Structure 1
Amino acid sequence: MVRSNRLPPLSLYIHFPWCIRKCPYCDFNSHAVKESIPEAEYIEALLRDLARDLEYFGLDRAVVSIFMGGGTPSLFSPPMLDRLLAGIRGLVSLAVDCEITLEANPGTFESGKFREFRALGINRLSIGIQSFQDRHLQTLGRVHSAAEAITAAEIAVAAGFENFNLDLMFGLPGQSEAEAFDDVRLATGLRPAHISFYQLTLEPNTYFHKFPPRLPDDEVIFAAQKRSQAWLAEHGYSQYEVSAYASTSTANQCRHNRNYWQFGDYLGIGAGAHGKISQALPSNIVRTAKPRNPEQYLREPWTVSRSRIELNQLPLEFAMNRLRLRDGFRLSEFEVATGLSGEALAAPLRNGLVEGLLELADGFYRCSARGWDFLDVLLEKFVPE
């Protein structure tokens, strides 16, 4: 055991649970708007939630990133988001270069507010495109058109967002290899700083899981993925995580998500939000969860779910995150992040190397090309007996 007083960086995740419509593939805690969103009430509940977490954990670390996700945070008005950010700044200190991301849909209603969002200090957008083809957008239940998707990216640039992400999905019902590739080709032409490119999966508790659509054959999906990845690499987008591609430099990688993947700490506020806070390594790393139902969340008081991560689970928890990153990790980083000795990883790392799922270079353990394609198989080796 390697006890460390050095605690990881701290991020803040804020969940907004409302959407215009619930998409059939979505397993996030999101709810279609029935009449109107109780904006002011929800913002004040978020700030009370944050204050309680800060008091409980006694946190005085600066926040290095904020991510407003959902749901659709861009449904909220700029004045309400201004109130939220002002309240956060009154409760915690933000790093000078704090990354502040807002998830947004490309519909006209949301994109019309991009310039106001930028004026609030929000310096990164993540725009949920999914596809640039209308028939696939309709199948996915999206409320925007292909034309609106393109316009949203252009508006983001005009609004002053040098750093924005476009979300794309592949392996869609009825999607050909060429159609998946065309989406990526069009996205790179819009020159976002970041592209998220991930395969549609049929998650439990979704409409698509209950009524599965017919998906392309595995061979078509794999060919589309490889062709698209080659194009991204040729056009300056480096794959630094399983489904994340950044242009130009590491500065365009999502700092908030990297903190997750590097086993950093994060406060989670909002309906259904989760957090992970290290107080003393390795014996006091706490997971938190807030009530999922928005109405329950607004009806206080409610109880925060808190649970410590068991010591024998820490190797798996660490590996599940760090092995998603291309650059992998050193054993010293595992020791600093968890407080455990590197010996705790000896057996799974050895087995991963023997089976060709891992490679070791310059002291870094990282996925091999084969391990990248069979990450689930590799992670099974870290499951405690």
Structure 2
Amino acid sequence: MNAASPVPASGRNRFELPPLAAYVHIPWCVRKCPYCDFNSHAAGPELPEEAYVASLLADLRDDLEHVQGRRLSSIFFGGGTPSLFSAKALAAIVEGLERLVGFADDIEITLEANPGTFEQAKFRDYRQLGINRLSIGVQSFQASKLKALGRIHDGDEAIRAADMARDAGFDNFNLDLMHGLPDQSLEDALSDLRIAIAQQPTHVSWYQLTLEPNTVFWSQPPQLPEDDILWDIQEAGQTLLAEHGYHQYETSAYAKPGRQARHNLNYWTFGDFLGVGAGAHAKLSHTDGRILRSWKTRLPKDYLDRAKAFRAGEKQLTTDELPFEFLMNVLRLTDGVPAMLFTQRTGLALDMLAEPRRVAEARGLLSPDPSRLVATAKGQLFLNDLLQSFLP
């Protein structure tokens, strides 16, 4: 098989265009956190909202050829801190997306927000313009941990943010929490979870702090908990969340029934997504079998320069790369996916996975159920080992 061939002829007639979402990147925040490796930049005294919105919509127009008749199933405003933008600016983006692409009737529109940027009136306006889900970046409720993480809010502000979200009409919101924080004990971590659960979010993202290159924490690493404490935190936290009705459906995602993050599920089931904004990434399929990943220019000043191209790079996934790319996403889901989804999303025959599946099953990392692609409990614990079976 030619590695550069997008789809073998045998799989071409089974290829289906997946659902389409949109990721919108707002790159500014109040200040850069020491653990953050995202494309975020400290905001100046004034944000160039109008110019940035104009660039976003021009960027979107350049990508319309990839829409291919689909409507958006979800939109996610990430950053940075998108809640720094006014309701007027976000409304212009939402209206542009609807006008240029179109929305599914039940579209999910999520906005990331930090507790230190909450204003009741502004969030009520966000809700009225069509944003129907919030993801609130709490990280911790404890003053010492928030200080270590460089956050601008305190625990009381985080609680007030959840209250204001409900009062503004958001009945669907996520609380973003981290564990494995500097000098964190088991009780510290469980205390954060108990306070979060008391706010009655529909969704909790609970993930372990990792030290990433090109961050302050990477060059000046803090004292993190020992591995045995991290293990205890993970086990006890999963139990606590389950006891309160939060089902773990992905490695670090827990939701009340029917409240899974649909935008993220689209990522994890190898759906398509447009990426607009500085540094935004996209994954886009085409009816001829090509699957492209692309990324936009990272620096806001370059993105705002209309004389420069928005797109910084593009790569067509090869047939050798597609199995790993697909499984890297779907095996994060605790229930996995139907095996037939591999062919539907990649255009490749399922028997292409036969040998690596056999190896992973023999190691106890992958379920032997022929109708599904799902990690075993052991495979979830050693996900990187499982994925190595499918490397090209």
User: TM-score if structure 1 supplies the norm length?
Assistant: 0.96
2:243 maps to which residue?
Answer: 234
Partner of 2:20: 10
Tell me the equivalent position of 1:93.
102
Structure 1 stretches of 4+ with a deviation exceeding 3 A read: 108-112
Question: Aligned partners of 1:331, 1:75: CA distance in 2, in Å?
Answer: 42
Cα distance in 1 for residues equivalent to 2:239 and 2:120: 30
Matches within 5 A, 1:267-286: 267-280=274-287, 282=289, 284-286=290-292
Q: Residue 176 of structure 2 aligns to which amino acid in structure 1?
A: D
Where do 5+ consecutive residues of structure 2 fail to align?
1-9
Contact preservation (8 Å) 2:340, 2:371: no
Q: In the alignment, what sits opposite 2:3?
A: none
In structure 2, the residue matched to 1:139 is 148
Shift of 1:91: 0.5
Q: Output the amino acid matched with 1:170.
A: H
Picking from 207, 213, 224, the partner of 2:216 is 207
1:361 Cα deviation from its structure 2 partner: 3.7
Deviation of the 1:109 alpha carbon? 4.2
Question: What is the aligned-residue identity percentage?
Answer: 52
Aligned residue in 2 for 1:180: 189
Aligned partner letter, 2:229: V
Question: Equivalents in 2 of 1:298, 1:108: separation in Å?
Answer: 24
Q: Is the 8 A contact 2:67 2:101 kept in 1?
A: no
Distance in 2, matches of 1:301 and 1:337, equals 36
Contact 1:108 1:148 (8 Å CA) reproduced = no
Deviation per residue, 1:13-37 (Å, 9 max, x gap) = 0000000000000000000013321
TM-score (norm 2): 0.95
Moved more, 112-121 or 73-82: 112-121
Which one has more relative contact order, counting CA pairs under 8 Å at least 6 apart?
2
8 A Cα contact 1:75 1:110, kept in partner: no
Shift of 1:301: 3.0
Query: How far is the alpha carbon of 1:5 from its aligned partner?
Result: 4.5
Offset, 1:187: 0.8
CA distance in 1, matches of 2:34, 2:303: 24
- Match of residue 139 from structure 2: 130
Distance 1:362 1:274 in 2: 33
1:30-87 Cα deviation digits (max 9, x unpaired):
00013321001001110111011004x3632110000000000000011111111112
| Matched residue SS, 1:289 | strand
SS class of match (2:104): strand
Counterparts of 1:319 and 1:328, CA distance in 2: 10
Q: Counterpart of 1:261? A: 268
Aligned amino acid, residue 269 of structure 2: Q
SS of the residue 1:132 aligns to: coil
- Give the one of 7, 31, 34 matched to 1:24: 34
Alignment match, 1:379 = 387
Assess, with a 3 A threshold, how the Cα gap between structure 1 residues 137 and 192 changes in structure 2: closer, same or farther: same
Q: Helix, strand or coil: the match of 2:337?
A: coil
Q: 2:300 aligns with which of 294, 300, 303?
A: 294
Equivalent of 2:72 in 63, 74, 92: 63
Residue type of the alignment partner of 2:308 = W
Ranges in structure 1 where 5+ consecutive residues have no aligned partner: none
CA distance in 2, matches of 1:111, 1:146: 18
Contact conserved, 1:123 with 1:163, CA < 8 A, in 2?
A: yes
Deviation at 1:107, TM superposition (A): 1.4
Structure 1 counterpart of 2:54, one-letter code: E
Whether the aligned pair in 1 keeps the contact of 2:16 and 2:347 (CA below 8 Å) is no
Residue 329 (1) aligns with residue 328 (2): no
Quote the Cα distance in structure 1 between the aligned partners of 2:96 and 2:372. Answer: 41
1:301 maps to a residue whose letter is A
- Matched residue of 1:21: which SS? coil
Q: Does structure 1 residue 191 correspond to structure 2 residue 193?
A: no
Partner of 2:164: 155
Following superposition, the deviation at residue 245 of structure 1 comes to: 0.4
Q: Residue 272 of structure 2 aligns to which amino acid in structure 1?
A: D
- 1:111 offset after TM fit, Å? 5.4
Distance (whole Å) between structure 2 residues aligned to residue 263 and residue 27 of structure 1: 23
Amino acid in the other structure paired with 2:271: G
The 3-state SS of whatever aligns with 1:377 is: helix
- Paired residues in the alignment total 380
What is residue 370 of structure 1 aligned with on the other side?
378
Residue 112 to residue 167, structure 1, CA distance change in 2 (3 Å): farther
1:166·1:196 contact (CA, 8 Å) conserved in 2?
Answer: yes
1:49 aligned partner: 59
Q: Distance in 2 between matches of 1:81 and 1:331?
A: 39
Mean alpha-carbon deviation: is it higher for 193-202 or for 32-41? 32-41
Distance 1:89-1:61 versus aligned 2 partners, 3 A rule: same
Q: What's the CA shift for 1:158?
A: 1.2
What is the root-mean-square deviation of aligned Cα atoms in Å?
1.2
2:23–2:75 contact (8 Å) kept in structure 1: yes
